[in-house]
Amino acid sequence: MSAGPPVSTPVGFRTPPIGYLGTGAALFVLLQATPATSSLALPVLVLAALIGTWKDDFDFARSPTAIEWAAAALALVWLISAALGLDPLRSLRLSMPTLAFLILLVGLGRDRHGEAAASALLWSLAAVATLWSLQCVWHYAHGVQVPEQLVAQMDVAWIVVPNDVAYAAVLWPVWCRDWRTRTNPQRALIVLALAVQCLAFVALGSRLALLLAALGLITAMSSLPGRRAWIGIISVALAGALLMLAWPGLAEKGTRSLLARGELWQAALAVFADAPLTGVGPHNYVLRYGDAMTTADLRLDSRLTPWPHSLPLEILTETGVLGCAAAALLIGCAAFRPPARRASALLQLAAAIPALILCMLEASTLRVWLWMLAAWWLGRANRQPLIRACTPSPPDAPPD
C-alpha cells in the first residue's frame, strides 16, 4: 500500500519548545533585570498569554481546580482590601506582580507546554540571580564594599536591601537537581554560578542568604545515594564552620538582627489591630507604620521600612484575617497535594525549607521574585490533576 501525500504544515508562527507562555514568563523575568526595560515586562507576558490562547495552547475545557478556586478567593479578598484600604490607587498600582502571578498560576496549570514553561521561568530566575551576582562582585572588587552602596550600584528593582539576594539561595536545590545526569561542562558551569552567587552573598553581608544556601545544599544532598549524602552534608557543615571562624561577628549580628525583627513584628501587630478584618490595604503598611512605631516602642532599629520583614505578618496587616485565610487556603491546596514523583517530592522539600525561612524573616509582597517563585510552585502543583488524568492506570496484576 503506497503512502499518502505528505501532510502540509500550515504557514505561521512556529510554537517555541517552551510554549508562548513560557517565552513570556522568561522574558518577564529578564526584562525586570534593568530599570530601563522593566516597564515592558507585564505587557510582554500578557501578549504571550493572548498568543497562547489564540494558538489553543491552554486546556480551558477542564473544570477549575481547588488551587484555582483558592487563587480566585485570594484575588477577591485582595481587591476588597484594596478598595477599603488607606490608599486604593497605591494598592492597585503596586499590584502588577500579583496580576502576573495569577496569569502564570492558571497558565502553567493549563498550558500543554506547562512543564517546559515552568522550567523556563525557574531558570530565568536563576540566570538573572547569577548576572546580578556578577555585577555585585564586580563592584565589590572595584572598591564598593559597603552593602547598601553595592545595592545602589546594582540599581535593580528586585534588590532593595542586601537580604533580597537570598531568594537566589532558594533555587540552589534546583541547580543541584539531576546532578548525576549532567555533563561535566554543565557541572562546571553550575559550580561556577553558585560560587559567584556565594561571593555576592558574602560581599553584601547577607547572613540570611548564606544560611539558606547551606540549608538548601544539605537538603538537596540528603537525597544522594549511600555515602555521598553524608559526604556532602559534612562538607557543607565544615564550610559553614570555616565561615563562622572567618567572620567572627556573624552570629552576633544575626542575633541583633533577629531581635530588631521582633520589634518590627510588634509594630506590625499594632497596625493589624487597627483593621483586623480586611487590613489597611495591599502595600499600605508603610502608611501606618510610622504611627505604630511609638506603640511598639522600637529601640534596636528605628528605620522606617515599608514591610514588616515577615510575609505572614505583612499579609495579616495589609489584607486582614480574610487575606490570611485565603492565602493559607491557597498554600494548603498545593502543599497537601501528593507530588507526581518521589524525586519531585524531594526537590520540593529541599526548596521548601529555605523558602519558609525566607518568608518568615524577609520576604514581602513588594518583591517580584516572591510572586515568581510562588507562580512556579503553585503553577506546577496546578498541573497535577491534568497529569494524573492523562496518565493511564497500571494494568491489574494477573491472577495467581
pLDDT at position 80 is: 97
Could you tell me the residue range of the domain that residue 346 belongs to? 19-56+73-383
In a domain, 3, yes or no: no
pLDDT at position 77 is: 97
In a domain, 66, yes or no: no
CA distance 222 to 230: 7
pLDDT at position 267 is: 85
Task: Say whether 239 sits in a helix, a strand or coil.
Answer: helix
DSSP 38: G
pLDDT average, residue stretch 359-369: 91
pLDDT at position 11 is: 45
pLDDT at position 394 is: 47
Summarised one tens digit per residue, pLDDT across range 295-345 is 445 555 666 678 889 999 999 999 999 999 999 999 999 887 665 555 555
Q: Which of 120-129, 131-140, 172-181, 208-217 shows the lowest mean pLDDT across its residues?
A: 172-181
CA distance 251 to 242: 13
CB 218 within 8 A of CB 172: no
pLDDT average, residue stretch 381-398: 54
**Residue partners of 329: CB distance under 8 A and separation at least 6:** 70, 73, 74
- In this prediction, residue 4 has a pLDDT band, given cuts at 50, 70 and 90, of very low
DSSP 39: G
In a domain, 45, yes or no: yes
pLDDT score of 257 more than 70? yes
pLDDT score of 8 more than 50? no
Q: Give the residue, 240 or 174, on which the prediction is more confident.
A: 174
| Cα–Cα nearest to 319, from 362, 370, 366, 280 | 280
In a domain, 299, yes or no: yes
Average pLDDT of the chain to the nearest whole number: 82
CB 278 within 8 A of CB 84: yes
In a domain, 242, yes or no: yes
In a domain, 79, yes or no: yes
- In this prediction, residue 147 has a pLDDT band, given cuts at 50, 70 and 90, of confident
**Other C-beta atoms within 10 Å of 246: how many?**
9
pLDDT at position 146 is: 87
In a domain, 50, yes or no: yes
Summarised one tens digit per residue, pLDDT across range 54-79 is 999 999 988 999 999 999 999 999 99
- In this prediction, residue 99 has a pLDDT band, given cuts at 50, 70 and 90, of very high
Q: Give the residue, 384 or 156, on which the prediction is more confident.
A: 156
pTM for this prediction: 0.85
Q: Percentage of the chain with pLDDT > 90?
A: 44
In the chain, how many domains are there? 1
pLDDT at position 296 is: 47
Q: Give the residue, 105 or 253, on which the prediction is more confident.
A: 105
In a domain, 400, yes or no: no
